[in-house]
Amino acid sequence: MRYVVAVAEEGSFTRAAERCRVVQSALSHQIKSLERELGVQLFARTSRRVEITAAGTAFLLAARASLAAADRAINDAVATTGEIRGTLTIGIIPTVTAVDLPAALGAFHRAHPEVRIRLRGGASNDFITAIRHGRMDVAVLGLPDSMPPQGVSSSVLARERLVAVTSSQHALAEKASLSLSELREERFVDFPENSPGRIPSDLAFQAAGVHREVAFEAMDTNLILSLVAQNLVVALLSPAVVPGNSALRTIPIVDGPTRIEYLAWSGFNPSPAAQAFREYLIPE
């Protein structure tokens, strides 16, 4: 099964053999033997081209699940000896401020060097879906305080109020504090519409009865801050992601949006690696 998965993913018997660390003739022989046993052709191939067949696609889904289950069984058994192995897939939003993830990852890797760590960037709602479907082990989420994560286990890491970020040249830059109504005439940069990173701000403006214009959308906080520094727009961000930069100012908002950072994971049979990593972010 591993050979079939490797050929499907590599699109080449040669590269699959290199990945599996076997000679190509042995890999080809094993796949042909499997095809004879199944009575179907898994791959259509010529000397120059390899394509998975419909039967191969159907086999591939179950093969991946079987291999994942086998790996999990091995890792669970080894974990009883105190050694943790396997793969740990972690989702990270662009604005993690509650924990020092690089430090946690460094400590975890030194303690469990046999665990392969995969980091995935993206949005909180995508991470929740991935955890539910078993494609991700743990994730750091950023959500409005009125929208806790559903369908996954979670723990609050931090609560924070967002601040207005302006250029140092902006007319509001020297204000000690602001209300949302004072920002009604401003143009904003924010995360994409309906994304968890933006929803707290949208809800706060709606509750205040204030319309705002979002002129730019971006997922990268560095790009957001660069647009602010050019005095093009105002942003609402966690103060922890704003560098001590003479080109930027942070201003508290008295009725501003709040955000909660969570650590989320699957409560259904989490892997030993996932359980161990949680301890680095949520000590008992």
Domains of the chain: 2-79 (1.10.10.10), 88-147+264-281 (3.40.190.10), 163-256 (3.40.190.10)
pLDDT value of position 279:
85
Q: 261: which residues sit within 8 A by CB, 6+ positions away?
A: 96, 97, 98, 99, 140, 141, 142, 156, 157, 158, 159, 160
Tell me if 142 sits within 8 A of 124, measured CB to CB. yes
Residue 281 is predicted with a pLDDT of 84
| pLDDT at position 272 | 85
State the pLDDT at residue 64. Answer: 75
Summarised one tens digit per residue, pLDDT across range 180-205 is: 999 999 999 999 998 888 999 999 99
Q: Name the token pair of 176.
A: 């000690």
Q: Give residues with Cβ within 8 angstroms of 228, minimum separation 6.
A: 165, 166, 167, 189, 234, 235, 248
Give the length of the chain.
284
Q: For the whole prediction, is pTM greater than 0.95?
A: no
Q: Which residues of the chain have pLDDT under 70?
A: 67-83, 283-284
Is residue 212 within 8 A of residue 257, CB to CB? The reply is no
Q: Torsions phi, psi of 245, nearest 5?
A: -120, 130
pLDDT at 9: 85
Neighbours of 216 (CB within 10 A): 15
